[in-house]
Amino acid sequence: MRLWRLSSVRHARDFTGGYGIFNNGRWNTVGRPVTYCATVPSLAALEKRVHITDAADLPPQALVAYDAPDDISVRTIEISALPQDWASRETQTQQLGDEWLDAGAEAILVVPSVVMPIAETVDRNALISHRSADATRITIAHVIPFTLDARLFRP
């Protein structure tokens, strides 16, 4: 399984789940080591874009490719298993993610993307739990310098 993350160059090789330790995310609350990824690089870029208001504030970026073995432990939450208004109920998705992270069982949680909430597509977000022993089997395959196209920031 190949996963993708768009990161600052400074943090590209950090594979400790530091984001979740210091920040709330859609699928976690502060204090839980987790790395947010996407199943395709274009979604990783789109997910980064929705969190940036000014391209000038964006430090140099790198696209990080992770490789997970085919037999790694994965849990999937399908969009059909969530309430219709799940995208606006972040507390609920955080609770689901926190329960998964706290259990430490599966290394990867595959979830729908709010920016691409279509069940029939392969575009998904994938969270890596650094509390799972299986996560040590995930490796960084490539770190590629990457710049978001300036047209994404047009008014």
Answer whether residue 73 is part of any domain.
yes
Specify the number of domains making up the chain. 1
pLDDT at 46: 94
- Structural domain harbouring 44: 2-150
Answer whether residue 69 is part of any domain.
yes
Answer whether residue 155 is part of any domain.
no
Q: What is the mean pLDDT of residues 121-129?
A: 96
Decide if pLDDT at 56 tops 80: no
Residue 87 near residue 117, CB atoms below 8 Å: yes
The radius of gyration of the chain from alpha carbons, rounded to an integer in Å, stands at 15
pLDDT at 70: 97
Domain at 78, CATH number:
3.90.175
Decide if pLDDT at 71 tops 80: yes
**pLDDT band of 115, cuts 50, 70, 90:** very high
Answer whether residue 141 is part of any domain.
yes
Answer whether residue 11 is part of any domain.
yes
